[in-house]
Amino acid sequence: MRNKRTHKLAIQSKSQDTQKRFLPYDSKAISRTRQDIQSRNTALRLAESEDPKNYKLQLLFNEISDDALLSSQIQNRKQQLFTASFSIKNASGDKDDEQTRTLKNSPVFRQLTLAILDSLYYGYSLVELNLQPNAKGDMVPNVTNLPRTNVIPQKGLFLKDYTQDKGISYRDMPEFGTWILEFNSNELGLLNKAAVHVLFKRFAESCWSELCEIYGIPPRVLKTNTQDGNMLRRGEQMMRDMGNAAWFIIDKTEDFNWATGVNTNGDVYKNLINLCNNEISMLVSGAVIGQDTAHGSNSKEQSSQDMLWQLVQSDMEQVEQYWNDTIIPALVNIGFLKGEVFFEFDPQEDTQQLYTRTIGFAQYYNVPPEFIKDKFGVEVLERIMTPAPTPGATKLNLDGDFFA
């Protein structure tokens, strides 16, 4: 019992030591304020100045990432990558089943891959690794995403407080490359290009909602003798009891006229929202996918999915490069992976196209049942040979009558 207790205390002590931050930072309260084009331009100028600061731009990115369409497009592109299988292979190119299984069962794969993919949208990602015991007591790597507001990749600085100027040169630290990993696209990210469209879309939605309120519940006006206190109080009570619509009271001698505006049912706002949605889809997915139901078609949707798949394949190549150049050397140094290994996505096959080709080959060649089971998941025994009909043979129709 004493040895088990000593071993448990040693694991806890080691876990507490490894939880110490190499790059500590101060947590700050987030204030949500209305974002507009002016605030976006201010954040952009601050990020592109000679003494860059990225916290305003990153706070803007966090704000616009709540947009439903933008979030769904980004998640759709990410999840297509995560549905692809991968392998850890040794130097000779053979699959290492044990280490592949270890990485698939560990959350570190998804956490680090998400950090790589987020660098495409936010511009960069900086993560910190530490060892923590799992349920079995084994020390496994844990990933902590450092706040992008505190990172200045243009100068290689990490700020403890993003409003200050003094920081730590994280690229000069001995832990960089092993415990501290950086994924940098060397750009401001796709969210910088999507920010304008999301802000205009919010403006159009806000104006459209106000228009719905005006059309649905028009304001009311009452003319009375405002010099008479009793009549004024009685008029106020009447307007309150009549409903929740906006109201006002003017004197009988005063005149009020409605300004003549543009007669519209909201089409101008709808068109602006549709334009912004299409631009967001084009930016993230390379095409408008699943939105234009009025003018859509199956061939158009298929070509859009093909364009998206090309972008996902490009993401796969970048993920492979980061895993082989940055992550695997770090995991080997930590001891999570062993030997000279490399990361690779398994070749992706178009099942529909493969099925069409298989049907064509089956007319002239024998296709092994094992191939059909492996590729399509259908277990077959043998091919049924259907003889060609003989001219003039007697057949039976659906009514049970024989005919030649």
Question: What is the model's pLDDT at position 219?
Answer: 74
Cα distance between residue 263 and residue 307, in whole Å: 40
Backbone φ and ψ for 220, nearest 5 degrees, come out as: -120, 150
Average pLDDT over residues 320-329: 94
Whether 263 has a pLDDT exceeding 90, the answer reads no
Average pLDDT, integer, range 260-287: 82
Q: Under DSSP, is residue 35 helix (H, G, I), strand (E, B) or coil?
A: coil
How sure is the predictor about 208, in pLDDT bands with cuts at 50, 70 and 90? confident
In angstroms, the CA 197 to CA 280 distance is: 7
Tell me, what's the pLDDT at 12? 41
Nearest to 344 by CA among 326, 327, 314, 324: 324
Residue 351 has a pLDDT of 63
**pLDDT tens-digit map of 105-116:** 889 999 999 999
Average pLDDT over residues 33-55: 88
Confidence class of residue 163 from pLDDT cuts 50, 70 and 90? confident
Token couple for 109: 């794969």
* Cα–Cα distance list, 356 to 177, 334, 399 (Å): 47, 47, 35
Describe the chain by its helix, strand, coil percentages, rounded to 5: 50, 15, 35
- Separation of alpha carbons 396 and 398, rounded Å: 7
Q: What pLDDT score does 402 carry?
A: 47
CA distance 225 to 374: 88
Instruction: Give CA separation, 203 vs 261, 266, 368, in Å.
Output: 19, 13, 60
CA distance 129 to 393: 78
What's the mean per-residue pLDDT of the chain? 81
Please check whether residue 199 is in contact with residue 40, taking contact to mean a CB–CB distance below 8 angstroms.
yes
Residue whose entry in the numeric block shows the structure tokens 């259907």: 386
Give the pLDDT of residue 347: 81
Percent of the chain with pLDDT over 70: 77
Q: Which two tokens stand for residue 6?
A: 């000593």
Q: With beta carbons less than 8 A apart as the criterion, state whether 355 and 94 touch.
A: no
Do residues 207 and 353 make contact, with C-beta atoms less than 8 angstroms apart?
A: no
Looking at residue 6, its pLDDT comes to 39
CA distance 243 to 403: 80
Residue spans per domain, the chain: 22-193+312-345, 206-297, 351-403
Strands 247-251, 220-224: pairing kind: parallel
The C-alpha atoms of residue 386 and residue 270 are separated, in whole angstroms, by 58
User: Is 80 exceeded by the pLDDT of residue 17?
Assistant: no
Backbone phi, psi, residue 294, to 5°: -75, -40
Distance (Å) of CA 363 to CA 108, 260, 354, 356, 375? 48, 74, 15, 12, 18
Q: Which residue has the higher pLDDT, 100 or 386?
A: 100
Count H helices, E strands: the chain? Answer: 13, 12
332, two tokens: 């080997």
Question: pLDDT category, 225, cuts 50, 70, 90?
Answer: confident
- Sign, CA torsion 343/116/28/46: positive
Please say whether the beta carbons of 171 and 45 come within 8 A: no
Structure confidence by residue, pLDDT tens digits, 358-404: 676 667 677 777 777 666 667 776 666 655 555 555 554 545 554 44
Residue 198 above 90 pLDDT?
yes
- Tens-digit pLDDT profile for residues 124-151: 999 999 888 877 777 888 899 999 999 9
Kindly report the pTM of this predicted structure.
0.74
